[in-house]
Amino acid sequence: MSTVVLSELPGRPCPIAAALELVGERWALLIVREIALGATHFSDIVAGTGAPRDRIAARLKALESAGVVVRSPYQSAPTRYEYRLTDSGDALIPVLDALLTWGKAHAVSADDPDRQQKYHAFHKLKDSR
């Protein structure tokens, strides 16, 4: 698992900045969301995020290097991998819950019909594993 040396960060170094170094790039937390929701294959993660394939591939490598996800082969010819959250990745579930709550309150219009739909139980996902 990679970590960050606080003194090497620009500006005011703190654990928030260190966390964002590891999971703050665009698409990273959406990848964690998709895996937490059960999308373990690359194509399912791409479909769930709507991100370009090359971006998802790059973020998955970075998340694996950071110890947030682990990759294991599920098919040998051609080799295909599935992705699972590590304990470190599971520890992000409360962060996703907090972002979900904040997003509903501050980022999504109150009259948006999709506001109350999907992704309402991340904390329950962790409890059921």
Q: CATH topology for 6-127? A: Arc Repressor Mutant, subunit A (1.10.10)
- Percent of the chain that is helix, strand, coil (3-state, to 5): 55, 10, 35
Return mean pLDDT, the chain: 89
Q: Which of 86, 89, 33, 88 is nearest to 56 (CA)?
A: 33
- Place 114 in a pLDDT band, splitting at 50, 70 and 90: confident
Cα 38–40–44 angle (5° rounding)? 90
Percent of the chain with pLDDT over 70: 89
Q: Is the pLDDT reported for residue 52 higher than 70?
A: yes
Confidence (pLDDT) at 125: 58
**Is residue 47 helix, strand or coil?**
helix
